[in-house]
Amino acid sequence: MRRPDDVRAGPAPRGALRPAGPISLARALSKLGVCSRREAERWIATGRVRVNGQEERSPRRAIDPSRDRVDVDGRRIGDAAGRLVIVLHKPVGLVTTRVDPAGRPTVYEALRGLDRWVFPVGRLDRETSGLLVFTNDVRLGRQLTDPQSHVPRTYHARVRGHPDAETLQALREGVDLGRGELTRPALVRALGSPRSEPGGTWLEIVLTEGRKRQVRRMCARVGHEVLELVRVRIGLLDLGDLSPGEWRELAPGAAEALFRR
């Protein structure tokens, strides 16, 4: 559901993001969320794709999505179409992919009404709700997911039981997830145990990395299963008053809040 006060995102300030550099045409279509890479190869081979106005039949053609114009079936896509950044309050039950082989509903069903291609920046698993960013800007997507960017992501997790001070400190210092996989230090604090949810405690966990199902795995390793998980903030950008299933476009300059701490 689109919010009535949505506005178009403006261009990023010069130098705010690193150049994406050239990637293959098929990979670009996949990264932009247009289709899978295999499907992109078929579309290119059948003449459905143009680069800078010329029909292109090679999926290996190197392009820069921030500079080259790409059209699919006459429709302009990519960074050259103007940067677009969207935030969605992802509901529980949606998978973060365009098409799910198992037929499960995807996050794109929540973006009905959007008339431009966007791809998700990172993922939230099916059972996790909260802030999910979409964009058509490959440079922005790369920087947000680059482990060296250390962009903080804030989660509220309801865990089984009541973690003691020693357990909270263990989460802060880093958790061994097995096979030598050690998490970075995190900010962790207890938010309390609401009377309406007996037997559980809400924690706030701030990570600067994005390992697969990281919060769930961290809490499980210290003996407290995650019962409910919501991502509430990326950088200084939060969900605001978005309800589950609602989305909005970011105003000009608002995307830079993703990189502030």
Active site residues: 125
Q: Are the C-beta atoms of residues 37 and 27 closer than 8 Å to each other?
A: yes
Entry field: residues in the chain? 261
Token readout for 203 is 């924690």
What CATH number has the domain bearing residue 212? Answer: 3.30.70.1560
- Whether residues 167 and 119 share a domain: the answer is no
Give the residue with greater pLDDT, 67 vs 11: 67
- Whether residues 218 and 100 share a domain: the answer is no
Q: What percent of the chain has pLDDT over 90?
A: 52
Our measurement of the distance from residue 33's CA atom to the centroid of its chain's CA atoms, rounded to an integer in Å, reads 12
Residue type, 51: V
- Whether residues 225 and 156 share a domain: the answer is yes
Residue 158 lies in a domain: yes
The yes-or-no verdict on residue 127 having pLDDT over 90 is yes
Per DSSP, helices labelled H in the chain are 25-31, 37-45, 138-145, 165-173, 214-221
| Tally of CB atoms within 10 A around 106 | 17
Overall pTM surpassing 0.85 (yes/no): no
- Whether residues 175 and 190 share a domain: the answer is yes
Tell me, what's the pLDDT at 95? Answer: 95
Neighbour-count burial for 224-257, b at 16+ CB within 10 Å, e otherwise: bebbebbbbbbbebbbeebebebbbbbeeebbbe
What CATH number has the domain bearing residue 98? Answer: 3.30.70.580
Tell me, what's the pLDDT at 59? Answer: 92
The residue segments making up the domain with residue 253 are 85-147+237-259
145-176 tens-digit pLDDT: 887 888 999 999 999 999 999 999 999 999 99
The yes-or-no verdict on residue 2 having pLDDT over 70 is no
pLDDT, mean of residues 176-192: 93
Tell me, what's the pLDDT at 254? Answer: 82
Q: State the total domains in the chain.
A: 3
β strands within the chain, DSSP E = 23-24, 49-51, 54-55, 62-63, 70-72, 75-77, 85-90, 119-120, 129-135, 153-160, 187-192, 200-207, 226-234, 237-238, 247-249
Residue 8 lies in a domain: no
Tell me, what's the pLDDT at 162? Answer: 92
- Whether residues 229 and 249 share a domain: the answer is no
**N- to C-terminal Cα distance for the chain?**
29
96-109 tens-digit pLDDT: 987 788 899 999 99
Tell me, what's the pLDDT at 81? Answer: 56
- Whether residues 136 and 251 share a domain: the answer is yes
Residue 168 lies in a domain: yes
| Domain termination residue (choose one: 57, 81, 105) | 81
32-76 tens-digit pLDDT: 767 778 888 999 999 999 999 999 999 999 998 778 888 888 878
